[in-house]
Amino acid sequence: MRQSNGYIVFYSAMLTIVCGGLLAFASQALKPRQDANIEFERKSNILSTVMTLEEGADITKLYESRIRELVIDVNGNRVDKKAADVNVGVEYKKLPEERMLPVYEFISATDSSKVENAVILVFGFGLWNTIAGFVALESDFNTIKGVSYSHVGETPGLGARIATSEIQERYKGKQIFQAATLVSVVMQKGEGIDYSNNPHKVDGMSGATLTAKGVNNMLKEYFGCYQKYLEKNKGINQQANL
């Protein structure tokens, strides 16, 4: 039987309302689990920059026992704010001198006053969308222990390789200071060149020059934001070792 136009419009509207309501309900019901998964991934990414995570490891327990969170300003001074409350996307839109900067200190298992590694957050833009990550530094606050990069929409097989261990391994052992000058670490254009003897350069990614440029800009900008914090802690450690 042929239905009237009014009936079809009414039926379509009701179907849209019902489906929309079900989707909204499902979204709200799943939100706590989604938030928990995001938090778990964040903690895993931070820990993975300083250690190898064994299968089945209790990430939450390990994180709570070894990571000390703090937030600093561009002068390296601690501010009264929780790291979890810092929205890096919002902070990125501010001038560098106005940003709140999370720091994740990996402390000794036997001496909580000893910082074995400092993990800092980095954020920027690649070819198509945002890129972000964590960079862990050794106790000298200069040598890179490890990195963990992520991306929203870089080209698969090209720029998206920044999220692979193959590329991230290249940063280990590199240094961000040259004497007292902050020089960062630069991914070079092209691929297949050995930079093992250069502490400030890493091999590039073929066909992903713009993504590499985005990573370079991201690191240089955020190392600059954290520079005062790093210099203060470098000085403390140098005095402690005298």
Strand 101-107 relative to strand 130-137, pairing = unpaired
Residue 99: burial class (beta carbons within 10 Å; 0-12, 13-18, 19+)? buried
Q: What is the phi/psi pair of residue 153, to 5°?
A: -150, 40
Is residue 118 in a domain?
yes
**Which residue range is the domain that position 190 belongs to?**
59-240
Quick check: is 30 in a domain? no
Instruction: Tell me the C-alpha distance between 218 and 133, whole Å.
Output: 10
Read off the pLDDT of residues 42-89 as tens digits, 9 standing for 90 and up: 899 999 999 888 888 899 999 999 999 999 999 999 999 999 899 999
Domain-embedded: residue 13: no
Is the distance from CB of 150 to CB of 167 less than 8 angstroms?
no
For residue 46, being part of any structural domain is answered with no
Which of 35-49, 105-119, 206-220 bottoms out in mean pLDDT, i.e. has the lowest?
Answer: 35-49
Q: 35 vs 102, which has greater pLDDT?
A: 102
pLDDT of residue 33: 66
The reply to whether 48 falls in a domain is no
Please report whether residue 112 resides in a domain.
Answer: yes
For residue 21, pLDDT over 80 is answered with no
Mean pLDDT across the chain? 87
* pTM for the structure as a whole: 0.84
Higher pLDDT, 212 or 154: 212
Question: For the CA atoms of 35, 41, 67, 69, what is the dihedral angle to 10 degrees?
Answer: -50
Q: How many domains does the chain have?
A: 1
Q: Residue 14 falls within a domain, yes or no?
A: no
Share of the chain above pLDDT 90, in %: 65
On whether residue 201 sits in a domain, the answer given is yes
Of the listed ranges 17-31, 132-146, 185-199, 217-231, the least confidently predicted one is 17-31
Assigned token pair, 160: 């998206």
DSSP 170: G
